[in-house]
Amino acid sequence: MENKGQAVNHPPLFKGTNYNYWKQRMITFFDACHIDMWDFVEHGNYIPLDDAGRELPKAHWNEEQKHRFILNSKAQNALICALIEEEYTKVHNFKSAKQMWDTLALTYEGSLEVKCNKLILLVHKYELFEMEENESIQTMFGRFQTIINELSFLGRTYDNFDHIDKLLRSLPRKRRP
C-alpha cells in the first residue's frame, strides 16, 4: 500500500510555489528532527572561529563545536532533499543552512520593502473582504482564512473577536444572524 502522506523522515518538497505553506512545514520538520535544528537554520553560527575571526581547523574543535557543525550539516541536507533541482541550484554553493534558508526567503518573500507592500495590499483586502455572490459560506471562510494566514506570515495578526466580527459583517444581510 502506497503512503500518500508525508513521511516523518522526509522533508516536504518545494517546487517553487506555495512558499509560505512549505516554509511552515519545513520549520516543523526541523523541529521534529532535533530541538535545536531550527535555531541553527534561523540564526546560523555553526563554524567555530578563533579570537581573530578565522575558521578553526576541525582537529581543534571541541564536542560542542562538532555538534553544532553536525546540526548545520543535517539542516543543509534536509533543505537539499526538500528542493527540486531548479530550487537547489539557487542555494547549493552555500556553507550554512542559514544562508540557504535566507536566500530562499528573499527569493520568495522578497525584501522588506516588498513585504511591506504585500502587507498593505493584504490589510486592504482584509478590510474590504465580503462574501461574493453565490459563494458558499465554506468557500468564503476558506478565502478569509487564506488572507489571515498570509497576514500572519507577514507578522500582522488580529484577534479572534476581530475575525468573527469581520466575517459576520461580510455576510449579505439575508444571511446575518
What is the pTM for the complete model shown? Answer: 0.65
User: Is 40 strand, coil or helix?
Assistant: helix
* 71-114 per-position pLDDT tens digit: 999 999 999 999 999 999 999 999 899 999 999 998 888 767 77
Residue spans of alpha helices (H) in the chain: 19-33, 37-43, 63-81, 85-91, 97-109, 112-127, 137-153, 160-170
